[in-house]
Amino acid sequence: MNRVTRLIALAGVGAYVLLPWYSSGEPALASYPFGASGSALALAVSGAWWLLPLALPLYACLHIAWRGTWNERNADWLSLCGFSGLAYLLVEGFAIGLHGWNAEWLGSVFGAPGPSQPGMGIGALIVATTLLLLGCRGLARKGWCRGDAFIVCAIGVIGVLLAAFVFFPVVKILASAFTDNEGHAAFASFLAKITDRSVWGLGCLGGGIACGVAWNTILLAILTGLASTVLGLAFALIAVRTSFRFKALLRAMTVLPIITPPFVIGLALILMFGRSGAVSAFLFRGFGIPPSRWIYGLSGIFIAQVLAFAPIAFLVLVGVVQGISPTLEEAAQTLRAKRFTIFRTVTWPLMRPGLANAFLLCLIESMADFGNPLVLGGNFEVLSTKIFFAVVGAATDQGRAAVLSLVLLFLTLAGFAAQQLWLGKKSYTTVTGKGDAGLSLPLPNSLRCACYALALPWVLFTFAIYAIIFVGSFVKAVGRDYTPTLASYAIAFRVEHTNFGWFFSGSAWPSLVATVEIALIAAPLTAAIGLLTAYLLARQDFYGRKALDFAAMLSFAIPGTVVGVSYILAFNVPPIEITGGALILVICFVFRNMPVGVRAGMAALSQIDKSLDEASLTLGARSFTTVARIMIPLMRPALVASLIYAFVRAMTAVSAVIFLVSAQYNMATTYIIGRVDAGEYGVAIAYSAALIVFMLAVILLIEALVGERRLGRRTAIANIAAAPA
């Protein structure tokens, strides 16, 4: 521990002395000998006096780290110096902006306009990180978390990251709910907006036109959450507990909807069931049923969302079903319980954490989704679309968008509380350190038939949806002229050979390369942070654990549009100035998508006996080794779910990044929206089809690289003596 602490302290001092402190130039610093590209020490001695006090905690930490003995007093001093240095860095960063003091009272006290500084750079980042780690290691030496430095540092790093990239931007935009357009407090306006009849009205129950947008959102979310969870469970049971021959095809069909770019499922539903759709035309010609607009409204949004979110439930539940110990079922079978009774009293209760997490994820996804309601909503308004138009509509009202975001956040937290109430404090451990060569019982006949009756028609329906998508990419004009052609693919992905070599001249190539690059960076970071957070929440008991859990779910509860706007407000000015590049896109994807890894990881860990990691620690392994060699192999289903979801969402996200893209980093989804706005539906569908094929190949590669969890159990079910049905 002494050696690692010394290296961290040396890194902090080296960054302060050598590395550039700021990320960009600033005219007010141009007169300094090293300019804005100088290190903190160079700038401090040449005029940037506010950087000089940082040398004191850094030197103190280095001095303590190089002492030969460790005692409680030195640990106190190390944590004090580390956290006080970090606090000062944050205070001076937020106090001094591009044009002087950021608060009027500072100008009145110290003189206006005051010093100025741009956004912090690599030097400030490393110094802040080292101060945080040194403070955490001091707490570990004091005995926090049983003196485990890895756990304490992980809690500190995750907490700071969530505070910086989740809590801070969300608070930044939600604070505008209590202010007017001039930034002054306006509580009366807040109360008027949050109690407005358009939000909570019940006109539809009394003969009116429609209910409030909040009730519409609740109804849609509950229906989508229930249907998606039931479908996901049916697919998971078929994949794990039956001898279905085409499991690979079934698994691929369940994953297809989550790799579909936004608006495409809605567009396919319109092409099938709209007034001029293929199915509507067939029903009119064959049976005389006139076309209608039933696809626009609650029914259409519900179908599209279940298509999109049922795979999320499947990815969470398949690992949960795999993790149920057959020994428990065999014990019930030995007591002559029937198979359906065993499923109802043993298997079903053990799946409750996975069911609750899957329902919560689908509920939140439904509330935050705005692509499907935008295409299929008609007169059925939900909170996400109301927020979107409040931000980008003709009558921009940031305060109204913030108020509606608060309502949406309240609804999400209510769902989270209901989930915790349903789970209670029961134990759901099924994976222990004991040998388990048991064999999972076949599903009861009635349940197996019910799963087939639910899943197989849905697979056929999904297949029809994607047939429309792929056919539409090879015709001249979707819905009008079905003459086969490759013109749309040529426009998007043309490759020409010139005198200087091959040239990728298609208009879609720049956005595709940028999207893949950012997704490949964001996906592993999302999975790592999400699963580490899940391990801390499920396995460690520390002060602030519930607050960390809340912060981890916060970005998921806010619509993507609001997240994008909040990032612009928070990170377009010092001290964190990162807009316009790839970094802000990666950060947005990581913290927007990590809740899936958190919930999937917690569902998996709820089945793994704590005695496994306790035995590893007893044998002398450190926490990092225990996590890497014991927990991660047992959490492979959760790892696969997190990687797949993070990669796919980075490839297909639109609402959160539509405000963050730049000319250099234009994302695939914004390109598709641009083609749709221009009426080039063929190019948009062709690009979407190409993305689907590409992402499906990446998903198969992820599953092959990560592999399956090995629990030492038999897999054949043919030779087991079937219990009475």
Least confident stretch, 45-49, 179-183, 311-315, 595-599: 179-183
Confirm if 438 and 327 have CB atoms less than 8 A apart: yes
* Residue for token pair 């696969």: 640
Same domain membership, residue 520 and residue 456: no
* 251 pLDDT more than 50: yes
Buried b (16+ CB within 10 A) or exposed e, 155-181: bbbbbbbbebbbbebbebbbebbbbee
Tokens of 106: 């500072």
Where does 207-325 have alpha helices with state H? 213-241, 247-255, 264-273, 278-287, 298-323
Higher pLDDT: 559 or 647? It is: 647
Euclidean distance between CA atoms 247 and 198, whole angstroms: 47
Query: For residue 445, what are the contacts with CB-CB under 8 A and spacing of at least 6?
Result: 725
Least confident stretch, 88-92, 424-428, 522-526: 424-428
Instruction: Tell which residue, 21, 41, 141, 137, has the closest CA to residue 82.
Output: 137
Confirm if 232 and 454 have CB atoms less than 8 A apart: no
Label residue 490 exposed, middle or buried (CB < 10 Å: 0-12, 13-18, 19+): middle
* 706 pLDDT more than 70: yes
Longest dimension (CA), the chain: 90
Query: For residue 320, what are the contacts with CB-CB under 8 A and spacing of at least 6?
Result: 236, 351, 353, 354, 355, 603, 604, 607
Same domain membership, residue 583 and residue 458: no
Confirm if 308 and 229 have CB atoms less than 8 A apart: no
Q: Is residue 155 situated within a structural domain?
A: no
Compute the Cα dihedral for 549, 316, 432, 711 and give only its sign.
negative
Percentage of the chain with pLDDT > 90? 22
* 287 pLDDT more than 60: yes
What mean pLDDT value characterizes the chain? 82
Q: Is residue 611 situated within a structural domain?
A: yes
The model's pLDDT over 7-20, given as tens digits with 9 standing for 90+, comes to 999 999 999 999 98
* Residue for token pair 């019982």: 441
Alpha-carbon separation of residue 48 from 44, 45, 94, 115, 609 (angstroms): 4, 7, 15, 8, 55
User: What residues pair up with 503 in beta bridges, in sequence order?
Assistant: 496
Euclidean distance between CA atoms 69 and 171, whole angstroms: 43
What value does the mean pLDDT take over residues 468-493?
82
Same domain membership, residue 226 and residue 124: no
Confirm if 240 and 647 have CB atoms less than 8 A apart: no
SS3 (DSSP) at 87: helix
Q: Is residue 430 situated within a structural domain?
A: no
What value does the mean pLDDT take over residues 687-693?
88
Percentage of the chain with pLDDT > 70? 89
Same domain membership, residue 447 and residue 573: no
**Of the candidates 430, 465, 500, which is a domain's last residue?**
465
Pairing verdict, β 495-498 and 501-504: antiparallel
Confirm if 673 and 655 have CB atoms less than 8 A apart: no
Pairing verdict, β 501-504 and 96-97: unpaired
Same domain membership, residue 453 and residue 571: no
Give the pLDDT score at 518: 93
Q: Is residue 167 situated within a structural domain?
A: no
Confirm if 407 and 414 have CB atoms less than 8 A apart: no
What value does the mean pLDDT take over residues 335-364?
81
**Of the candidates 116, 142, 168, which is a domain's last residue?**
142
Query: Confidence class of residue 130 from pLDDT cuts 50, 70 and 90?
Result: very high
Same domain membership, residue 590 and residue 460: no
Confirm if 656 and 561 have CB atoms less than 8 A apart: yes
Backbone torsions φ then ψ of 5, nearest 5 degrees: -60, -40
What value does the mean pLDDT take over residues 625-632?
83
Least confident stretch, 146-155, 165-174, 252-261: 252-261
Pairing verdict, β 100-101 and 96-97: antiparallel
CB neighbours (10 Å) of residue 23? 22
Query: What is the number of domains present in the chain?
Result: 3
SS3 (DSSP) at 179: strand
Same domain membership, residue 649 and residue 517: yes
**Of the candidates 668, 695, 719, which is a domain's last residue?**
668
Q: Find which of 267-281, 484-498, 546-560 is predicted with most confidence, using mean pLDDT.
A: 484-498
Tokens of 597: 């890894």
Same domain membership, residue 373 and residue 286: yes
Reported as half-sphere exposure (CB side, CA atoms, 13 A), residue 246 has a value of 9
Give the pLDDT score at 577: 87
Same domain membership, residue 525 and residue 376: no
Strands (E), 352-504: 475-477, 481-484, 495-498, 501-504
Higher pLDDT: 708 or 577? It is: 577
Query: Confidence class of residue 480 from pLDDT cuts 50, 70 and 90?
Result: low
Give the pLDDT score at 609: 77
What value does the mean pLDDT take over residues 406-413?
80
Give the pLDDT score at 723: 45
Give the pLDDT score at 428: 45
* 35 pLDDT more than 60: no
Query: For residue 543, what are the contacts with CB-CB under 8 A and spacing of at least 6?
Result: none
Instruction: Tell which residue, 131, 119, 126, 25, has the closest CA to residue 88.
Output: 131
Least confident stretch, 75-79, 587-591, 593-597, 660-664: 660-664
3-state secondary structure 103-142: CHHHHHHHCCCCCCCCCECHHHHHHHHHHHHHHHHHHHHC
The model's pLDDT over 184-214, given as tens digits with 9 standing for 90+, comes to 677 888 888 888 888 888 877 766 667 888 9
Alpha-carbon separation of residue 692 from 258, 462, 592, 615 (angstroms): 9, 14, 21, 44
Euclidean distance between CA atoms 166 and 588, whole angstroms: 9
* 56 pLDDT more than 90: yes
Same domain membership, residue 230 and residue 92: no
Query: Confidence class of residue 22 from pLDDT cuts 50, 70 and 90?
Result: confident
CATH number of the CATH domain containing 557: 1.10.3720.10
Strands (E), 368-480: 475-477
Euclidean distance between CA atoms 17 and 12, whole angstroms: 9
Query: Confidence class of residue 303 from pLDDT cuts 50, 70 and 90?
Result: very high
Give the pLDDT score at 34: 57
Same domain membership, residue 136 and residue 62: yes
Q: Is residue 31 situated within a structural domain?
A: yes
Confirm if 332 and 345 have CB atoms less than 8 A apart: yes
Pairing verdict, β 481-484 and 475-477: antiparallel
* Residue for token pair 């550039």: 20
What value does the mean pLDDT take over residues 279-296?
83
Q: Is residue 317 situated within a structural domain?
A: yes
Q: Is residue 635 situated within a structural domain?
A: yes
Tokens of 516: 């893949």
Euclidean distance between CA atoms 401 and 407, whole angstroms: 10
Give the pLDDT score at 580: 81
Compute the Cα dihedral for 475, 477, 478, 480 and give only its sign.
negative
Q: Is residue 28 situated within a structural domain?
A: yes
* 719 pLDDT more than 60: no
Higher pLDDT: 719 or 552? It is: 552
Helix, strand, coil percentages for the chain (3-state, nearest 5): 70, 5, 25
The residue segments making up the domain with residue 232 are 213-382+439-465
Tokens of 536: 């801390």
Query: For residue 339, what are the contacts with CB-CB under 8 A and spacing of at least 6?
Result: 333, 441, 442, 443, 444, 722, 723, 724, 725
Q: How far is CA 121 from the centre of its chain?
A: 26
Same domain membership, residue 273 and residue 129: no
